[in-house]
Amino acid sequence: MIYSERLAEIKIEPLNEVMRESIQDKLNNKTKPLGSLGQIEQIALRIGMIQNTLTPTLSKPQVFVFAGDHGVCEEGVSAFPQAVTQQMVANFLAGGAAISVLARQHSMSLGIVDAGINGDVADLPGLQNRKINHGSRNFVKELAITSGDVVLALEAGADVINAASHEGGKVVLLGEMGIGNTTSAAALTHFVTGAPLAQCVGAGTGLDAAGIAHKLAVIEKGLAQHKAFLDGAEKDAVRLLSAFGGYEIAMMTGAYLQAASHKMVVLVDGFIASAALAVATLINPLVLDYCLFSHGSAEHGHGALLKYFKRTPILQLGMRLGEGSGSAMAYPLLVSAVNILNEMASFDEAGVSASDR
């Protein structure tokens, strides 16, 4: 599936299996019982394989939060009003949001990207303007995004990462902000994973049981609306994003692909960030090799995505905020994993007796 020349240029290399064995050997020879650092060892292994080295480094972690609005909000699918998207964007830039605090704590740069906010926010200092539209359209009534605009969004996401890579970044954390986006993400999750829709729909920002039932009914209407459009192309990334949106999700999809092509370590955030990655796997499944899953989101549908990826998240903290906040929480563990691989003594070096079994 080639959507544009720009996207066709994004090539992702498979990881080097020979390096897997060398890193595993190095980990096995550290002064500890075999496998005793559990998942930290798998994190070190993946980062080493991504960078194709026994001595990986994690310089310049960069967080990007992609923000966009969703026309389907007019169906009453979120506990919060749409205006919160742009209000939170102002909060990110002013330094008062959760991701602002965490990015400061870990000395990460924080880039906020207007992917499709429904408001005139161009005057907000520091905002990256990649706006394609003032929000997606209501997918219950029409296509959320034209196919042409989906391609533009994929390309814009890739461009954001290209710029980050030119600055020497080796690690990216992709987050999002968009009132209503768990509704889009639920529809996408259903199509990509094949899980029943009810397993993909949850409370989002805080719906009660009646609210969730209404949200499910709204998405079912959307599925019926786009049945003909998707017929025979249920796993076509551009058609799926066109049917259900949103701009920030499509930009993240492009960003994941470009980050993997640059061999960056990619930290995947919660439900919406994972849904965007799931769509990216339809374009190139190798993208997954470059990703670490920061946390299991409390949003109901995240389980279906993690099952589809066949991967275990690093943290289980009951989080469901978005913004890249789970990834920022998990980042210090990546630093620990890399330090273990680089600095911990081997049995030989430390003169410690290895296991005789």
Give me the active site residues, please: 323
Task: Write the CA distances from 128 to 10, 163, 201, 267, integer angstroms.
Answer: 22, 12, 31, 21
- Cα separation of 202 and 270, whole Å? 13
- Is residue 180 a contact point for ligand NCN (CB under 6 A)? yes
- Is residue 80 a contact point for ligand DMD (CB under 6 A)? yes
The option from ligand NCN, ligand DMD, none interacting with 138 (CB < 5 to 8 A, set by class) reads none
User: How many other C-beta atoms lie within 10 A of the C-beta of residue 123?
Assistant: 6
Q: Which of 177, 178, 181, 163 is nearest to 62 (CA)?
A: 163
- Is residue 314 a contact point for ligand NCN (CB under 6 A)? no
- For ligand DMD, the closer of residues 80 and 347 by Cβ is 80
In one-letter notation, the amino acid at residue 289 is D
Nearest distance from C-beta of residue 148 to ligand NCN, angstroms: 26
- Is residue 88 a contact point for ligand DMD (CB under 6 A)? yes
The option from ligand NCN, ligand DMD, none interacting with 183 (CB < 5 to 8 A, set by class) reads ligand NCN
Rounded to the nearest 5 degrees, what angle is found at the Cα of 106, between the Cα atoms of 104 and 108? 70
The residues, any chain, with a CB within 8 Å of residue 222's CB and separated by 6 or more, are 72, 139, 140, 187, 243, 244
- The SS3 of residue 239 is helix
- Is residue 84 a contact point for ligand DMD (CB under 6 A)? yes
Burial class (CB in 10 A: 0-12, 13-18, 19+), 28: middle
- Is residue 121 a contact point for ligand NCN (CB under 6 A)? no
Report the residue from 283, 320, 329, 341 that binds ligand NCN according to the rule CB under 6 A.
Answer: 320
Q: Which of 23, 73, 30, 87 is nearest to 53 (CA)?
A: 23
Residues numbered 59 to 78 that lie near ligand NCN (CB under 6 A) are 78
- Is residue 136 a contact point for ligand NCN (CB under 6 A)? no
Give strand ranges (E) for 153-239: 171-177
Nearest distance from C-beta of residue 145 to ligand NCN, angstroms: 17
Candidates 15-23, 286-294, 297-305, 319-327; binding stretch for ligand DMD (CB under 6 A): 319-327
> Is residue 270 within 8 Å of 280, Cβ to Cβ?
no
Nearest distance from C-beta of residue 1 to ligand NCN, angstroms: 27
> Is residue 160 within 8 Å of 256, Cβ to Cβ?
no
Q: What is the largest CA-CA distance in the chain?
A: 70
- Is residue 272 a contact point for ligand DMD (CB under 6 A)? no
- Is residue 179 a contact point for ligand NCN (CB under 6 A)? yes
- Cα separation of 77 and 176, whole Å? 18
The option from ligand NCN, ligand DMD, none interacting with 181 (CB < 5 to 8 A, set by class) reads ligand NCN
Report the residue from 16, 28, 146, 205 that binds ligand DMD according to the rule CB under 6 A.
Answer: 205
Nearest distance from C-beta of residue 128 to ligand NCN, angstroms: 18
The option from ligand DMD, ligand NCN, none interacting with 41 (CB < 5 to 8 A, set by class) reads none
Axis-axis angle for helices 147-166, 247-261 (nearest 10): 40
The residues of the shown chain that bind ligand DMD, judged by CB under 6 A, are 80, 84, 88, 177, 205, 321-323
The residues of the shown chain that bind ligand NCN, judged by CB under 6 A, are 78-80, 176-183, 204-205, 269-272, 297, 299, 320-323
